[in-house]
Each structure stands twice: as C-alpha cells, then as structure tokens.
Amino acid sequence: MTDKNPLAVAKGHGPALLLLLIVSLIGLPLILPSATLATEILIFGLAALACNLLLGYTGLLSFGQGIFFGAGAYGAALLMIHLHWGMLGALVGAALFGALLALLVGALAIRRKGIYFVMLTLAFSQMAYFLAYTLSGWTGGDNGLLDVPRPNIEIAGHVLVDLANPRHFYAFVAVLFLLIFAGALRVIRSPFGSTLLAIRENETRAAAIGYDIRHFKILVFMLSGAITGIAGALYAMLLHFAPLSNIDLMMSENILIMTIVGGTGSLFGSLLGAGAIVVLGDVLSELWPRWLMLLGAILILVVVFMRGGLWGGLADLVKRLQPSRTLDAKTKETL
C-alpha cells in the first residue's frame, strides 16, 4: 500500500508542496458550492493527515483514530460549554486530550505488532464508543452533545475574527491546516520522522542500530492523536453539535479510507483523499441513498489499480502528460 519512496516527496519539495497547498486552500471554497463543505474537507484532511503519519510513515494501521476524533469533539465542546473556554483554549485542550488518549491507547497497543496491534486498536475503539454512549450525562449519549458553541477569536473582549460567518470559519481552519501541514512536513524531515520511516521499513534493523522503537511509536501516536483531536474539535464547532458517530468505529474506518484513497506516500494525498470522499459523499448521497456501496467500489479500484492512491495516480499522470512540474501544480488542485 505504501508508496515506494515517500522521502522523495519529503526531500526538497517542501516549498513547492506548501505552494500547492496554499493554492488549493484558496481555490477550494471558490470551486465548491459552500464554504461549509470546503471546511469539512479540511477537517477530515487533518484527520487523514494524522492517520497518514501512522500508516504511511510508521506502517501502523490504527483503527483507533475515531477515539481521538471523538475525544477532541467532546473535550473541546465540554470545555467551551462548562468552562466557557475560548476558541484557542478549546483547540489546545482538544489536542492535549487527543494526545493523552493516544498515549494510553498507544502505550498498550504497540506492545504487539501486526494484526494484534490492529485488533487492539479496534478493541479500544469499541470501548471508547460504549464509554461515550454510557456517559450520556456528559456526551448526550445517542442524541449527541447539542449546542456546541463556535467562539470568535477575541482579545480582551474585542472580537478579532467573527467565526459565525462560514467563510471566516473556513479561512480560520485553512490557516490552521496550513500550519499543521507545515509542522507535519517538518516532523517528517526531522531525525524523528526519518526514524519513523526506518521503523516502517525494517523494525528489527531499526532496533539493532540503536533506536528504542517503543518511544518512537508512542510519540508518533501522540502527535497523531493531538492533530486528530483538533480535527474533532473543529468538526463539533462546524456542526454546532458532537454526534455519537464521531467516536464510532465507522469514523475510524472513514479516516482510514480517506488516507488510503489519497495515498499514503504523501501528506498532500491525505487532503486529496478527504476531498474526494467528502465531495463524493455529498454528491452521491443526494443521488442514491445506497451510495456507500459506490464508495466501497472506489476503494477497491484505488487499492487494486492505484497503489500510490490519488496522489500517486496524479503524480504518474503529470509525469506522463508534461515534463514541466510547475505548470501542473496548478491543475492538480482542481481535482
């Protein structure tokens, strides 16, 4: 599933990738019918990016991403509702909450490898769902947590940005996305990130040359949990609502599907994957109530015929059509 050499993307192409991202972030709300849909894409793009750090860069298939997404949503909502925390406080809280839960899940799950690791994340996912279901006093149980606020960005009572406006909220999320994406690029190109690739490639050798694998896996889990927590918080703010489905196994699956469809070899692929699935869901669900079947078919097609995911497919296409990369950077984002 993994692209042959993700370092090829990580090395040297950083500025070009960021430029491509900025163009995409500006173009997205212009192409799509609503700013809300564009915001949703970015939010799931964040969740998929966080999942990609685990799957694409460390080789860890986690079915626990929904835990951190849901936890971020509930955590931020509760902080805002009960403690009246502002926007940034709620986001930091969600990130910490996500990281903390990832520490718990990660510390136990990484004691096993391969299929057993996957099963452990599945088990945690089930537990988290029923925990949220049971604690209905806090989470609203089946009804979800209602009336989640979307606070404005204020300094000393003075409103800097009014986020009630969907376009403003999109811009805010876009800036966050850019910052987190740039941060994640940095992480990939750090000693830590390069070691993750080594672990993905060959765990035994990585241990033999001196790396304590557990520490690396736990740290990447926490980073992933923090980013997913932020995504969950933003989603609750977008909907003004934190449904129980946020922490459902289905959410973990969706995040994984977006990551795989987008391509595990590139962080930008995660945004593509999220975009493709969110837009498809939006379009298809209006045409046909059984649209999830089509989604399954698309996943099969991508996995079988496009091993690098959408990102890999596009990169191939660009290579075949035109020798010049810079021109294509512009055409790529329209997809």
Partner 1 sequence: MSEFLLETRNLQLAYGPFRAVDGVDLKVRAGTIHTVIGPNGAGKTSLFHCLTGERQATAGKILFNDQDIIRKPSHGRVALGMARSFQLTSLFQNLSVRENLRLAAQGRDGLGALNFWRSVEHKRSHWDTADQVLERLKLNGRAETLAGELSHGQQRVLEVGMSICAKPTLLMLDEPTSGMGIDDIPVMTELISDLGRDHTVLLIEHNMSIVMSISQRITVMSHGQILVEGTPDQVRNDERVRTAYLGEAA
Contacting residue, 194, 322, 331, 334, with partner 1 by CB under 8 A:
194
Task: Note whether 9 binds partner 1 by CB under 8 A.
Answer: no
Sign of CA dihedral 196, 173, 333, 250: positive
Per CB under 8 A, which region of 210-218, 247-255, 311-319, 321-329 contacts partner 1?
Answer: 210-218
Residue 74: count other Cβ atoms within 10 Å of its Cβ: 28
**Residue whose structure tokens are 């699956």:** 253
Which candidate, 94, 98, 133, places its Cα nearest to that of 243?
133
Out of 112, 205, 240, 319, the residue judged to bind partner 1 by CB under 8 A: 205
CB of 292 to partner 1, least distance (A): 34
Does 110 bind partner 1 (CB under 8 A)? Our answer is no
Residue with Cβ nearer partner 1 (156 or 208): 208
Our finding on whether 191 is near partner 1 (CB under 8 A) is: yes
Question: Which of 37, 63, 47 shows the shortest CA–CA distance to 226?
Answer: 47
Task: Name, in order, each residue with C-beta under 8 angstroms of 312's C-beta and a sequence gap of 6 or more.
Answer: 3, 263, 265, 266, 269, 306
Size of the site for partner 1 (CB under 8 A): 30
- Minimum distance of partner 1 from residue 311's CB (angstroms): 17
Q: Return the number of the residue (49 or 244) whose C-beta is nearest partner 1.
A: 49
CA dihedral for 164, 169, 172, 177, sign (positive or negative):
positive
Is residue 201 near partner 1 by the rule CB under 8 A? yes
The dihedral through the CA atoms of 250, 92, 18, 150 has a sign that is positive
1 near partner 1, judged by CB under 8 A: no
Q: Is 15 in the site for partner 1 (CB under 8 A)?
A: no
Q: Which residues of 260-299 are buried (b: 16+ CB within 10 A; e: fewer)?
A: bbbbbbbbbbbbbbbbbbbbebbebeeeeeebeeebeebe
- Using CB under 8 A as the binding rule, whether residue 132 contacts partner 1 is answered as no
Restricting to residues 217-276, name those near partner 1 by CB under 8 A.
Answer: 219, 223
Sites of contact with partner 1 (CB under 8 A)? 4-5, 7, 186-187, 189-195, 197-198, 201-202, 204-213, 215-216, 219, 223
